[in-house]
Homo-oligomer: A and B are copies of this chain.
Amino acid sequence: MSDRTRFVLDEKQMPTRWYNINPDLPAPMAPPLHPATDEPIGPDALSPLFAMELIKQEVSMERYIEIPEEVQHVYRTYRPAPLNRARQLEKDLGLPEGVKIFFKYEGVSPAGSHKPNTAIPQAFYNKQEGIKRISTETGAGQWGSALSIACALYDMECVVYMVGISYRQKPYRRILMETYGAEVIASPSTRTNAGRHVLDLNADSLGSLGIAISEAVEDAAMRDDTHYCLGSVLNHVCLHQTIIGEEAIMQMEMAQAEPDVVIACVGGGSNFAGLAFPYYRRKLDGKSNARLVAVEPKACPTLTAGEYRYDLGDEAGMTPKMMMYTLGHDFVPAGIHAGGLRYHGDSPLVSLLRKEDAIEAVAVHQNACFEAAVQFARTEGILPAPESSHAIRAAIDEALEAREAGEDRTILFGLSGHGHFDLAAYEAYNAGKLEDYDFAAGSMCEGA
Contact = CB atoms under 8 A, between A and B. Distances in A.
Interface in A352-381: 374, 377-381
Interface string A68-83: 0000011011101000
B110 A381 contact: yes
A145 B378 CA distance: 12
A295 to B, nearest CB: 21
A12, A180, A381: residue with the most chain B Cβ atoms closer than 10 Å: A381
A178 interface: yes
Contacts of A9: 8
Interface in A3-26: 4-12
B8 A11 contact: yes
Contacts of A381: 74, 77-78, 109-110, 116, 149, 152-153
A447 interface: no
Contact of A378 (B11, B152, B383, B424): B152
A182 to B, nearest CB: 10
A170 B278 CA distance: 42
Given A9-B8, A11-B5, A377 B171 contact: no
A420 B112 CA distance: 9
B84 A5 contact: no
B377 A175 contact: no
A426 interface: yes
A30 to B, nearest CB: 38
A316 interface: no
A74 B76 CA distance: 25
3 closest cross-chain pairs (CB), A and B: A110-B381, A152-B378, A172-B423
Given A5-B73, A108-B108, A420-B421, 9 more contacts: A5-B11, A6-B76, A8-B10, A74-B88, A109-B381, A116-B381, A149-B381, A179-B374, A181-B378
